[in-house]
Chains A and B, each alone.
Chain A
Amino acid sequence: MTTPWSVRPIECLSLLVVALWVSSCASPPVQPAAAPEPSTRIYVANESSNNVTVIDATTLAVVATIDARNYSTHDLSLTRDGRRLFVTNLASGRVSVIDTQSLEVIASIFTGFRSHVVTLTNDNRHAWVANIGEDMISIVDVETFRILGTIPTGKGPTGLTFSRDGRFAYVSNQGDRTVQVIDTGSHTVIKTIPVGSNPHFLVLGPDGRIWGCNTGGNDIYVIDPESQSIAASLVLGPAPQQIAFAYKGIAGPNAYVTLAGTNEVVVVGMEGGKLHVREKIPAGDRPNGIWSNAQGTRVFVVNEVSNDLRVIDTGTSQTIAKVEVGRKPIRVVVSR
């Protein structure tokens, strides 16, 4: 007797094969995710040795020293995925592109006379390069390495950053003592803001405001992207160079500013939008580049004259490690 549910052996085998096939299609074997491991790297641009030092951020061992294949290696910008490092070379007027997997230069692009700083757009499609000697920005396609256009600036563009939403670029011009605001949708300057003596470094802060250093003077300033005007400033001391943001325990975010004139890192609090000096931390000889880790618990400072990178624990404000790098390190960036 047969029931609607009864099947013969051959039918049973066929059903089994079909079931196995369907199940293999529906749910491919799941690979367990690897446990997260800190594989962060630190990159340092050494201007007088024309190279980039690569350091393992966990062990602080020097992984490689990469010849930039150009002269006066100055500024660095790392893609968000960490695979490409764009490097300006002041004396060559060229950008070197480093493949961070193979740790070698894979392209050399002439951007303009005395190429100074490089910043990637928020979507990482273009690298904007400020060329001091030609008063303009070159726009480089990060895939084809072609230059897709230029934007005229004020005299001596030296700093460059983008607003949080990417609608505006900010360019500091040391010759004009100004910061220009560029509409990234039209590549036109929409405002010029007087800021002070020899404005240099610019960076987007965690508060969404634009922070800058008047390196020829003794102060820092903060631009509000809503009003496109200076919202705050603070006198710190001679030759403020670069800024990073980190926490001291529960306090923060604080701005950590390298002060080349006094060999210090000055910690600036920003509660309520007002700036005040929280403390000063001794650095090496002529500190310049500074960067924090993603967690905001360490800052990495490079010192132009002592030719080293120092690691500051922001919880204790103590230097916990020192790594020798190339000659005249200017800039440091850390992968995420």
Chain B
Amino acid sequence: MGRQSTVALGVILAAAMLCLLGAGTANAQPASAGVARNAIGTLVVVRPDGVEDRLRGKGSVKLFEEDILRTDPGSQALIELPEKISLALNENTQLKVLSRWEKGKPLTRIVRIRQGEAWVKTGEGPKAFEMETPVATAFAKETEFNMRVEPNGESILTVIQGIVEFGTAFGTCPIRPSTVSYGMRGKRCTRPETIDPTGVLRWSRQIVQ
């Protein structure tokens, strides 16, 4: 074997070793779970250890798994999650950034909204995104929708684009564009009703621009 071949083999082996090491230590660093890009008023980011970070106006605050995002009265925020998922929070909203790992599948991005209102637009392609509320979950691919969660957990899903699967423990139903469905504790989601989503999305015009 010539010197050049030996060097090439060494480089390949070294690259393979680096790849293996990289795969083995992938979880050693906390992976970014998104970026907060803009806030009207203040976005409060509460880290899992209780430390708080804030975004006012345009900026770039990194988000991590299990961060809690909170907007107070008069505040709104715009978030970018991986895989081109855009998320806007209306005022008085609190949500948690999560994910689910499943063997052999891409990471499912999850936002758990406890109360308030959020708008979501997911990018093209087979990216899984779920929005959990206290009583239901919206599962979306290539969609745009708005979710409002009342203090009692009742969840109002309005779909703007694409089809959103809206599931409770009592069943899952597909919700189509320009329709609204309600998720309530102890019940299957309601039959979709036609709605003009323009009015529903009025709150998000300024922050989504």
Q: Convert A83-96 into 0s and 1s, putting 1 for each residue whose CB lies closer than 8 angstroms to a CB of B.
A: 00000000001000
* A146 part of interface (Cβ distance < 8 Å): yes
* B122 part of interface (Cβ distance < 8 Å): no
Contact size range, B: 20 to 34
For B66, what are the chain A residues with a Cβ–Cβ distance below 8 Å? 93, 110
In the docked arrangement, what's the CA distance between A188 and B135, Å?
12
Q: Convert A107-143 into 0s and 1s, putting 1 for each residue whose CB lies closer than 8 angstroms to a CB of B.
A: 1111000000000000000100000000000010100
* B102 part of interface (Cβ distance < 8 Å): yes
Q: Is the CB of B167 within 8 A of A150?
A: no
For A69, what are the chain B residues with a Cβ–Cβ distance below 8 Å? 101
8 extra interface residue pairs, beta carbon distance < 8 Å, beyond A146-B139, A187-B185: A93-B66, A110-B98, A110-B99, A148-B167, A148-B169, A150-B153, A187-B186, A188-B185
Q: Convert A26-55 into 0s and 1s, putting 1 for each residue whose CB lies closer than 8 angstroms to a CB of B.
A: 000000000000000000000000000000
Q: Is the CB of A149 within 8 A of B103?
A: no
In the docked arrangement, what's the CA distance between A107 and B106, Å?
11
Residues of A within 8 A of B (CB): 69, 93, 104-110, 126, 139, 141, 145-151, 185-188
Q: Is the CB of B186 within 8 A of A185?
A: yes
* B191 part of interface (Cβ distance < 8 Å): no
Q: Is the CB of B102 within 8 A of A106?
A: yes
CB distance from B118 to the nearest CB of A (A): 17
Contact partner, A149, options B102, B139, B168, Cβ 8 Å: B168
For B183, what are the chain A residues with a Cβ–Cβ distance below 8 Å? 149
CB distance from B85 to the nearest CB of A (A): 17
Q: Is the CB of A146 within 8 A of B130?
A: yes
Q: Is the CB of A145 within 8 A of B136?
A: no
For A93, what are the chain B residues with a Cβ–Cβ distance below 8 Å? 66
- Which of chain A's residues has its CB closest to B27's CB? A69
For A139, what are the chain B residues with a Cβ–Cβ distance below 8 Å? 169
Contact partner, A145, options B102, B132, B169, Cβ 8 Å: B102
In the docked arrangement, what's the CA distance between A185 and B168, Å?
12
Q: Is the interface of B mostly helix, strand, loop or mixed?
A: strand
For A104, what are the chain B residues with a Cβ–Cβ distance below 8 Å? 103
Contact partner, B100, options A108, A148, A150, A186, Cβ 8 Å: A108
For A188, what are the chain B residues with a Cβ–Cβ distance below 8 Å? 185-186
Q: Is the CB of B102 within 8 A of A150?
A: no
Also in contact, A148 and B137, with CB within 8 A (given A110-B66, A141-B167, A185-B186): yes
Q: Is the CB of B103 within 8 A of A106?
A: yes
Q: Convert B138-181 into 0s and 1s, putting 1 for each residue whose CB lies closer than 8 angstroms to a CB of A.
A: 01000000000000010000000000000111000000000000
In the docked arrangement, what's the CA distance between A150 and B133, Å?
8
For A147, what are the chain B residues with a Cβ–Cβ distance below 8 Å? 132, 137
Q: Is the CB of B110 within 8 A of A110?
A: yes
- Which of chain B's residues has its CB closest to A102's CB? B103
Contact partner, B136, options A110, A126, A148, A185, Cβ 8 Å: A148
7 example contacts (A-B, Cβ-Cβ < 8 A) are as follows A107-B103, A109-B100, A148-B136, A148-B169, A149-B185, A150-B135, A186-B186
Contact partner, B168, options A106, A145, A148, Cβ 8 Å: A148
* B34 part of interface (Cβ distance < 8 Å): no
- Which of chain A's residues has its CB closest to B98's CB? A110
For A187, what are the chain B residues with a Cβ–Cβ distance below 8 Å? 169, 185-186
In the docked arrangement, what's the CA distance between A110 and B48, Å?
13
Q: Is the CB of A108 within 8 A of B101?
A: yes
In the docked arrangement, what's the CA distance between A150 and B168, Å?
10
For B135, what are the chain A residues with a Cβ–Cβ distance below 8 Å? 149-150
Q: Which 9 A/B pairs are nearest by Cβ-Cβ distance?
A: A186-B186, A187-B186, A108-B101, A106-B103, A148-B169, A107-B102, A149-B135, A110-B98, A139-B169
